[in-house]
Structure 1
Amino acid sequence: MFDLSGQPWIGQYPASVPPTYDYPHHHLAKFLEDSAARHGDHPALYFMGRTVTYRSLLESARRFANGLLGLGVRKGDRVAVMLPNCPQAVIAYYGTLLIGGVVVMTNPLYMPRELEYQLNDADAKLIVTLDLLCERVQGVMPATGLGHLVVTSLADYLPFPKNVLYGLKLRKDGQKPDIVYGERVLSFSRLLKTSSPEAVDVQVDAGSDLALIQYTGGTTGRPKGVMLTHLNLVANTIQSRLWAYRTKEAQEKYLAALPFFHVFGMTVLMNQSVYLAGTLLLIPRFRVEDVLKTIHKCRPTVFPGAPTMYISLINHPDIRRYDLSSIEFCISGAAPLPHEVQERFESLTGGKLIEGYGLTEASPVTHANNIWEARKLGSIGIPFPDTEARIVDPQSGEEVPQGQIGELVVRGPQVMAGYWKRPDETAKVLKDGWLSTGDMARMDEDGYFFILDRRKDLIIAGGYNIYPREVEEVLFEHPDVEEAVVAGVSDPYRGETVKAFIVLKQGAAADEESLKRWCKERLAVYKVPKIFEFRESFPKTMVGKVLRRRLIEEGQEPPGKDKDQGA
């Protein structure tokens, strides 16, 4: 790897964490094979009362892999997985990897236009999704290259009588989907039953073969597919394990409330737990009551999450009724962690809550605070083993003196291979292995890093990346909208929330509710603006470019203030 001996953060490493490690160049799915070999009868998954052992999970993944081969899916082909946290998501993920396929994790909240774009951009051959989402996916199939749609239901892995009651409730609520199976629309459970459980022997080059194309919201243009190799994800999983050095094989329980379709949840939960033969307590949808009950009953030891999750828990009126003492540590990511949230959560649980940092392009984790040793509040911590980090001048790329502000750039075995089908975009952010993060930061004398601002206008709301241009394009399509600017504004719960500034066409009558409905039909719910401000005009440069920052600042000024006076 790299010579890190002179870096100030090395002195902050716990004695049990090695600064460097020899990462195995093997198939990502070997984590599952190894854990099943050593701990076959140990619970791998717990889903609403049903337990799946490692032996059973591996058999199901092999059946799915052989099912894919029977459908003509081969090494390098892309398979989309559009599922919440449920056993089928884990089976499809590792089953795809076993044949050398490339997983494309797809957000179940995506609306047709978003889904169609991603499936076409990735050239996905097959998608796995829920029966409740089947109609949406079938609607875009003619416009994509999808050959097959594999459909499952949450009821498939619920224990009796929950599986029966689930179906009855859907029918009562008029939500029971009427699915017509055929040559291209297949049943997930039937595919597993009719496929071989034999091992699949597909060799991969861990350093160059892709395991995942993970789409990330940029700040301009459409989402880009981040190409992550088997080695990228193997390395980041092991780096995370080295950092949490007190975790014990086949003894940890991971509260899986972060969605696996988010790269943070995929690495620090799914891959991490499987690597360590832990038990994943699957939460298909984050509801505060459900999470509190799961912690109280199932006694998880590790709970990675986003700040909004911890905020929800500590502000629950009945928090004292639940025993949260099993939690030993939590790593918070995806958004800044407020100091008061960190302190209150630790006092309630007795466990540790630390802030980390990463980005999809780095699999995703690059920095974290020490879990059990000294840490610095407000800091993202120090770089992971084998991870280099520098603060550079955004224009020249030259490293700035310690303590000064610049752009954070990182290098390590977890850094992506590049953007899918976008060599020009790759060249902009990857230079000699160094990844430009786009975040402004500083490093102190001890090697701790502090994020100060984003160079661009990415909105992070509740852990989700939202880029303004996509939302603006939807608003511009509305017949009453003349101009639209979207920006992130501070929100005590979500970190940021989406605000839309609107200039209506002359004589138009659109209001906030009609524009929200318009957006909800075309965007995932977390991208829909929560706040609308209608204006007669926008502040602009001489060439007509909207001054976004000034617009946001004006939108935050108290009502009635004379903007021209500036007082």
Structure 2
Amino acid sequence: MTYEDRPWLALYRNDVPPDIDVEQPTMLEMLAATVRSDPDATAVMYFDGQLSFAELDQQSDALARALRAGGLAKGDRVALFLQNVPQFVLALAGIWKAGGVAVSINPMSRERELGYQLEDSGAAVLIALEGLYESVGRNVVSDSPVRRVITTSELEYQSRNDPRVFDGIVKKDLGTDDLATLIDQHRLGDPITTDAAPEDIAVLTYTSGTTGPPKGAMTSHANMTFNAQVYRDWLGLTPKDTVLGVAPLFHITGLIGHIAVSVLARMPLVLAYRFQPEVMLDAIREHRPTFTVGAITAFTALLNTPGCAPEDFTSMRLLYSGGAPISPTAAEAVRAMTGAALHNIYGLTETTSPTHAVPVGADTPVDPTSGALSVGVPVPNTVVRIEDEGGAVLPIGEIGELVVRGPQVVRGYWNKPEESASAIRDGWFHTGDVGFMDEAGWFYVVDRKKDMIIASGYKVWPREVEDVLAEHPAVREAAVVGIADEYRGETVKAFVSLVAGASVTPEDLIDHCKQRMAAYKYPRSVVLVEELPKTVTGKILRRELRTTS
């Protein structure tokens, strides 16, 4: 295949840098345009509740007045410690209208993790779910910069009170400001005006911390609105579509692939508190969404939910996955159940989600050598090159680090100038991911640079071994790490979880790989586990596995 055979590839040749000086609006300007266009359109669906764009606009105005009345100044940080609830979307808009910067915090965080991010960001305000504040936040805020706490109930904006989700939860008085009360108190007041600029920081989006302490990526309004447009235009999303909130909203995928694009495309966002496969499947049946993007682990969990059937997915025309690698085997399983192709979309926190995506309707190629499924081609206005360890650009087909430049690249990390200078050099973000581009312009991510294993002098990429393990019918998930070996320097060790009801021995799995891989690649040991440690977005925490090896 040549560039001439596929016109959409010709646009993204990485030796012809495009014009990346693109002026973007702010998220507030984007929201205002949507409200003017169709104020009664549904912004959020939450079980049996709905919130229109007009209501979202009015309630976020009230929150902005409340924050300003409490002394929030331009540039102050407001931490969001919330699950996938309508209040997350409302609070984002209210923070921006008040002139603040949102700090998105993983709702699975415990005291140490929450305390670190509050301290690192210097958050002045914490907006938290009552349950999260009671169990975690209350123990942290007294030793943090937080001077005001606003809590909100998980039960609001719906009345179904599904016992699978809300069993035992009741609204409580925790001695904090109540979000609903603040909104009622500040519904009336002067019109909200803001001087937010496209390059202002919109969100401090913390990295997943898979290789070290989380860092706050300074995600601007322009970063967010650019990649919202990428999602909308690349996928052809319109107000007739509905997006299913599979990814957590605190994560960059949820912020852009759910919230930002739903505002831009004027389409409803379906939320279900947090990811529970059986609850999410019911949301699909009830609201009939047309698009979602999430980790492969979420799709796998949905497909393995009792009662899941192909007819459940007849409304879904666009399925994309990011955040963790997809094996060809997993992609085929999704297609077999849903009838829709599961396409890759690739990006990082520091690139505000996508830098690459598989075009709609394209057949995703598989690299015959590594077995890796392509992550697609660069999205518009984005330049990608492959570099060696010395920074030299490598020719097509050679493996090196993916380095990216475009309007979605953040300016750096909050209060970490050395880390920022190391990761972003002359506008080029060094991803830490290793891969290559083929002659047709498709990109492949082989693995994380830091996860490479050197066994007897040979390079072994964990991803390749994991994909071979995934081909075994008994394997549900696999993760591979390198461990110290006196003779080989490093050797390959695999951790495997099995399909329900399956039975296989570690020796069987070693033999399975041995028959399909070079001698230096196959795992010398396999450990069977019930679950692999992951981030909330589905990335396997290999560093945790290394500590148990």
The alignment's TM-score, normalised by the length of structure 2, stands at 0.79
Distance 1:8 1:412, change over 3 A: farther
* Partner residue in 2 for 1:276: 265
Query: Is the contact between residue 35 and residue 54 of structure 1 (CA under 8 Å) also seen in structure 2?
Result: yes
Q: Does 1:432 align with 2:426?
A: yes
Matched letter for residue 186 of structure 1? D
Equivalent in 398, 403, 407 of residue 404 of structure 1: 398
**C-alpha displacement of 1:293:** 1.7
**C-alpha displacement of 1:100:** 2.5
**C-alpha displacement of 1:234:** 1.1
Structure-2 separation of matches of 1:168 and 1:237: 32
Distance 1:167 1:294, change over 3 A: closer
**C-alpha displacement of 1:219:** 5.2
Q: Does 1:256 align with 2:197?
A: no
* Partner residue in 2 for 1:452: 446
436-445 vs 291-300, which moves further: 291-300
* Partner residue in 2 for 1:418: 412
* Partner residue in 2 for 1:550: 491
Equivalent pairs, count:
474
Structure-2 separation of matches of 1:13 and 1:127: 47
Query: Is the contact between residue 224 and residue 256 of structure 2 (CA under 8 Å) also seen in structure 1?
Result: yes
* Partner residue in 1 for 2:353: 364
Structure-2 separation of matches of 1:138 and 1:319: 39
1:458-508 Cα offsets, whole Å, 9 max, x none, are 9xxxxxxxxxxxxxxxxxxxxxxxxxxxx999596885669999xxxxxxx
Distance 1:443 1:8, change over 3 A: farther
Distance 1:307 1:220, change over 3 A: closer
* Partner residue in 1 for 2:205: 214
Structure-2 separation of matches of 1:437 and 1:201: 37
- 1:251-400 matches, within 5 Å, as 251-320=240-309, 322-377=311-366, 378-394=373-389, 396-400=390-394
Matched letter for residue 81 of structure 1? L
1:408-457 Cα offsets, whole Å, 9 max, x none, are 10100000100111111111111111110111101001111011121114
Distance 1:362 1:329, change over 3 A: same
Matched letter for residue 406 of structure 2? G
Distance 1:169 1:119, change over 3 A: same
Q: Does 1:118 align with 2:152?
A: no
Distance 1:495 1:53, change over 3 A: same
**C-alpha displacement of 1:383:** 0.2
Structure-1 separation of matches of 2:385 and 2:128: 41
Query: Is the contact between residue 46 and residue 280 of structure 1 (CA under 8 Å) also seen in structure 2?
Result: yes
Distance 1:497 1:80, change over 3 A: farther
Query: Is the contact between residue 307 and residue 336 of structure 1 (CA under 8 Å) also seen in structure 2?
Result: yes
Query: Is the contact between residue 198 and residue 221 of structure 2 (CA under 8 Å) also seen in structure 1?
Result: yes
Matched letter for residue 43 of structure 1? T
**C-alpha displacement of 1:141:** 1.0
308-317 vs 322-331, which moves further: 308-317
Query: Is the contact between residue 21 and residue 385 of structure 1 (CA under 8 Å) also seen in structure 2?
Result: no
* Partner residue in 1 for 2:458: none
* Partner residue in 2 for 1:84: 83
**C-alpha displacement of 1:20:** 6.8
- 1:161-180 matches, within 5 Å, as 162=161, 169-170=167-168, 176=170, 179-180=173-174
23-32 vs 60-69, which moves further: 23-32
Structure-2 separation of matches of 1:237 and 1:77: 25
2:292 counterpart SS class = coil
1:286 counterpart SS class = coil
Distance 1:156 1:387, change over 3 A: same
2:226 counterpart SS class = helix
**C-alpha displacement of 1:7:** 12
* Partner residue in 2 for 1:464: none
Equivalent in 179, 195, 206 of residue 203 of structure 1: 195
Structure-1 separation of matches of 2:89 and 2:377: 31
* Partner residue in 1 for 2:149: 149
1:148-177 Cα offsets, whole Å, 9 max, x none, are 111111112122x639x899942xxxx657
Distance 1:325 1:276, change over 3 A: same
Structure-1 separation of matches of 2:213 and 2:5: 38
* Partner residue in 1 for 2:33: 34
Structure-2 separation of matches of 1:450 and 1:551: 22
Structure-1 separation of matches of 2:482 and 2:382: 38
Structure-1 separation of matches of 2:248 and 2:64: 23
2:266 counterpart SS class = coil
Query: Is the contact between residue 9 and residue 382 of structure 1 (CA under 8 Å) also seen in structure 2?
Result: no
1:94 counterpart SS class = helix
Structure-2 separation of matches of 1:241 and 1:162: 33
1:281 counterpart SS class = strand
Structure-2 separation of matches of 1:168 and 1:49: 14
1:155 counterpart SS class = coil
Structure-2 separation of matches of 1:14 and 1:310: 31
**C-alpha displacement of 1:112:** 0.2
296-305 vs 311-320, which moves further: 311-320
Q: Unpaired runs of 5+ in structure 2?
A: 13-17, 367-372, 453-461, 497-504, 511-518, 525-549
Query: Is the contact between residue 352 and residue 371 of structure 1 (CA under 8 Å) also seen in structure 2?
Result: no
Distance 1:372 1:230, change over 3 A: same
Matched letter for residue 65 of structure 1? A
Structure-1 separation of matches of 2:381 and 2:10: 12
Q: Percent identity of the aligned residues?
A: 31
**C-alpha displacement of 1:373:** 3.4
* Partner residue in 2 for 1:468: none
* Partner residue in 2 for 1:514: none
Structure-1 separation of matches of 2:209 and 2:340: 34
* Partner residue in 1 for 2:221: 230
Matched letter for residue 202 of structure 1? T
Structure-2 separation of matches of 1:457 and 1:426: 21
Q: Unpaired runs of 5+ in structure 1?
A: 1-5, 459-486, 502-537
Structure-2 separation of matches of 1:282 and 1:21: 34
Distance 1:243 1:495, change over 3 A: farther
1:192 counterpart SS class = helix
* Partner residue in 2 for 1:53: 52
Matched letter for residue 217 of structure 2? V
Root mean square deviation of aligned Cα = 3.4
**C-alpha displacement of 1:557:** 7.8
Query: Is the contact between residue 294 and residue 320 of structure 2 (CA under 8 Å) also seen in structure 1?
Result: yes
Matched letter for residue 145 of structure 2? G
Query: Is the contact between residue 44 and residue 279 of structure 1 (CA under 8 Å) also seen in structure 2?
Result: yes
Distance 1:120 1:498, change over 3 A: farther
The alignment's TM-score, normalised by the length of structure 1, stands at 0.76
* Partner residue in 2 for 1:75: 74
119-128 vs 32-41, which moves further: 32-41
1:87-140 Cα offsets, whole Å, 9 max, x none, are 111100111112221111011110001110010000000111111112221111
1:9-47 Cα offsets, whole Å, 9 max, x none, are 8652699xxx87884432212222111111111111111
Structure-2 separation of matches of 1:9 and 1:388: 18
Matched letter for residue 9 of structure 2? Q
Query: Is the contact between residue 255 and residue 283 of structure 1 (CA under 8 Å) also seen in structure 2?
Result: no
136-145 vs 287-296, which moves further: 287-296
